[in-house]
Each structure stands twice: as structure tokens, then as C-alpha cells.
């Protein structure tokens, strides 16, 4: 069973997300800030799916993602899904650049969380299949880079002058990674 860590400064959102994640068969931990998330990742080695809000006081979701990337991803596979109430193409691109595998709008989380967690689990399975059989020699680095197909979609969205930010985000949500 995969362990999911949900990070959000809104207690009601945490309860709703925890219920949704648990109902899908995942073990779920919650924390209300980015620093707490980093501590949990340090203490509990088998947490490897993170769902985090972007807009939080202190350590926001993008900064949390950067810290996870810097501190943990050389040593173990972790995949991150970011959630925001204020979707913007710039935030989505920045999240993807720092290894997020999904970017969900808060208004769509409950309808999209199952698909996002399945994609996260699939990505983890792929990463785990590449692990060395013994020892830890830092082989995880750069295995979290976005696929060429994903990068081409992002470039296409950025190049398109006719797509609004919300349309671009919806295009990202429709694509199966």
C-alpha cells in the first residue's frame, strides 16, 4: 500500500483530501505546513506520494517541491501532485520543472484525485523498477525529468496565443501521463 502525505494549511481541505485518499485505498498522513512535510519525509521513509497545496504561508508548495527535490530525490523515489485554487500556466510550468507529476485545481480535486494518484503510483512503479538491486548510489537523480511528450505539450501551450491560462491548464488535466 502506498503512503500519501497531504499538505495543506486549510484544516477542512486536509480532512476532505484525507477522506478521499483513504477511500481510494492509500494510507494517508496529513500535515498543515511545508516544514512539517519535510520532517515527515525525513522520519518516514516509505512516504513517496505528496499532495500539496501551492498557496501556504511560510514554505509554499513550489518551495516545498524544490526542497523535496534537493533533499530526498537523490535517495528515494518521490512523486508530487500540486493543488491550487488559483490556476496559472506559470505556476503549472514551474511545478513541472521541479518534478511535479500533476497540477490540480482545487475545484476539480475530488473528481481528479483518483486519476492523479493512479498516475503517481504508475510513475513510482516505473522509478522503483530502475532502482539498483543493492546499495544506494544516487541513481535517482534526473529520473524525474518530464517526458519529451510532456515537454512538447508544455511548449505547445506556451506558444499558443489563443489559449487562455485556464484553457491551458485544462489541456494539461486532459492529458494522461
Instruction: Tell me the per-residue pLDDT of 58-104, one tens digit each, with 9 for 90 and over.
Output: 999 999 999 998 998 888 889 999 998 876 777 777 777 777 888 88
At 141 the pLDDT is: 44
- Cβ-Cβ contacts under 8 Å for 138 (sequence gap 6 or more): 74, 75
Mean pLDDT confidence for 120-148 = 65
Q: Which residue has the higher pLDDT, 149 or 36?
A: 36
Q: Which of 54, 64, 138, 69 minimizes the C-alpha distance to 99?
A: 69
What's the pTM? 0.73
Instruction: Specify the residue for cell string 523535496.
Output: 68
Specify the pLDDT at position 38.
Answer: 96
Q: Which whole number is the average pLDDT over 120-131?
A: 86
The pLDDT value given to residue 105:
86
**In the predicted model, is pLDDT for residue 47 greater than 90?**
yes
Q: Report DSSP letters for the chain, one per residue.
A: --EEEEE-S-HHHHHHHHHHHHHTT-EEEEESSHHHHHHHHHH-TTEEEEEEES--SSS-HHHHHHHHHHHTTTTS--EEEEEESS--HHHHHHHHHTTEEEEEEGGGHHHHHHHHHHHHHHHHHHHHHTS-SSS--STTTTTTSPPHHHHHHHHHHHH-SS--HHHHHHHHHHS--
Amino acid at each position: 500500500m502506498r503512503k500519501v502525505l497531504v499538505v495543506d494549511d486549510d484544516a477542512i481541505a486536509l480532512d476532505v483530501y484525507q477522506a478521499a485518499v483513504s477511500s481510494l485505498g492509500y494510507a494517508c498522513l496529513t500535515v498543515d505546513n511545508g516544514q512539517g512535510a519535510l520532517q515527515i519525509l525525513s522520519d518516514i521513509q516509505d512516504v513517496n506520494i505528496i499532495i500539496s497545496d501551492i498557496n501556504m504561508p511560510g514554505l509554499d508548495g513550489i518551495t516545498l517541491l524544490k526542497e523535496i527535490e534537493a533533499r530526498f530525490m537523490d535517495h528515494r523515489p518521490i512523486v508530487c501532485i500540486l493543488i491550487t485554487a488559483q490556476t496559472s500556466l506559470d505556476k503549472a510550468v514551474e511545478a513541472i520543472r521541479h518534478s511535479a507529476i500533476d497540477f490540480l485545481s482545487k475545484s476539480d480535486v475530488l473528481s481528479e484525485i483518483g486519476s492523479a494518484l493512479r498516475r503517481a503510483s504508475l510513475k513510482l512503479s516505473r522509478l522503483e523498477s530502475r532502482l539498483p538491486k543493492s546499495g544506494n548510489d544516487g541513481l535517482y537523480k534526473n529520473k524525474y525529468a518530464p517526458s519529451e511528450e510532456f515537454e512538447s505539450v508544455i511548449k505547445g501551450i506556451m506558444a499558443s496565443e489563443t489559449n487562455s491560462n485556464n484553457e491551458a491548464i485544462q489541456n494539461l488535466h486532459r492529458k494522461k501521463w
